[in-house]
A = this chain, B = another copy of it.
Amino acid sequence: MRILILGGDGYLGWPTAMYFSKRGYDVTVVDNYFRRNACNELDVGMLYPIPTLVERAKIWHAQTGLEIKVVISDLTDPEAMRALFDGRVEHAYAWAKDSAFPGVPETVIHYAEQPSAPYSLINYKYANITLTNNLLVTNNLMFALRDFARDTHVVHIGTMGEYGTPNIDIEEGWLDIKHKGREDHFLFPRQASSLYHTTKIMDTDLMWFGVRMWNLSITDLMQGPVYGIETDESAIDDRLKTLFNYDEIFGTVVNRFITQAVVGYPLTVYGKGGQTRGYLNIKDTLQCVEKSVRTPAKTGELRIFNQIMETFSVLELAELTLKVGRKLGFDVEMKSIENPRKEAEEHYYNPTYQGLVDIGVEPHYLTEDVMEGMFKVVASFKENIRKDVIFRGIKW
Interface size class for chain A? 35 or more
B124 and A78 contacting across the interface, CB-CB below 8 Å? yes
B182 and A186 contacting across the interface, CB-CB below 8 Å? no
Please tell me if A201 contacts chain B, counting CB pairs below 8 Å. Answer: yes
What sequence of 0s and 1s flags, for each residue 90-123 of chain A, a beta carbon within 8 Å of any chain B beta carbon? 0000000000000000000000000000000001
Please, how many angstroms separate the alpha-carbon atoms of A201 and B212 in the complex?
16
B186 and A166 contacting across the interface, CB-CB below 8 Å? yes
Chain A residues 144 to 187 lying within 8 A of chain B, measured CB to CB, are 144, 147, 166-169, 175, 177-180, 182-184, 186-187
B183 and A167 contacting across the interface, CB-CB below 8 Å? yes
A195 and B166 contacting across the interface, CB-CB below 8 Å? no
Nearest CB in chain B to that of A169: its residue: B180
Number of chain copies forming the complex: 2
A139-B127, A342-B213 known; A187-B189 Cβ under 8 A: yes
List residues of chain B with CB within 8 A of the CB of A189.
Answer: 177, 184, 186-187, 189
B180 and A177 contacting across the interface, CB-CB below 8 Å? no
Please tell me if A83 contacts chain B, counting CB pairs below 8 Å. Answer: no
Nearest CB in chain B to that of A209: its residue: B198
A163 → chain B, closest Cβ, in Å?
11
Please tell me if A125 contacts chain B, counting CB pairs below 8 Å. Answer: yes
List residues of chain B with CB within 8 A of the CB of A124.
Answer: 78, 82, 139-140, 143-144, 147
Out of B169, B186, B192, B205, name the residue touching A198 (CB < 8 Å): B205
Please tell me if A135 contacts chain B, counting CB pairs below 8 Å. Answer: yes
B209 and A205 contacting across the interface, CB-CB below 8 Å? no
Please tell me if A202 contacts chain B, counting CB pairs below 8 Å. Answer: yes
B183 and A177 contacting across the interface, CB-CB below 8 Å? no
Please tell me if A384 contacts chain B, counting CB pairs below 8 Å. Answer: no
Please, how many angstroms separate the alpha-carbon atoms of A147 and B125 in the complex?
13
What sequence of 0s and 1s flags, for each residue 255-274 of chain A, a beta carbon within 8 Å of any chain B beta carbon? 00000000000000000000
A363 → chain B, closest Cβ, in Å?
24
A135-B131, A135-B135 known; A183-B168 Cβ under 8 A: yes
Please tell me if A191 contacts chain B, counting CB pairs below 8 Å. Answer: yes
A184-B168, A189-B189 known; A136-B128 Cβ under 8 A: yes
With most chain B CB atoms within 10 A of its CB, the pick from A147, A189, A192, A206 is A189
Out of B131, B180, B186, B213, name the residue touching A136 (CB < 8 Å): B131
When A and B form their complex, which 7 residue pairs have the shortest distance between CB atoms, in order from nearest?
Answer: A124-B143, A186-B189, A167-B184, A168-B179, A168-B182, A202-B202, A166-B184
Interface set of A (CB-CB < 8 Å, partner B):
78, 82, 123-125, 127-128, 131-132, 135-136, 139-140, 143-144, 147, 166-169, 175, 177-180, 182-184, 186-187, 189-193, 195, 198, 201-202, 205-206, 208-209, 212-213, 342, 348, 396
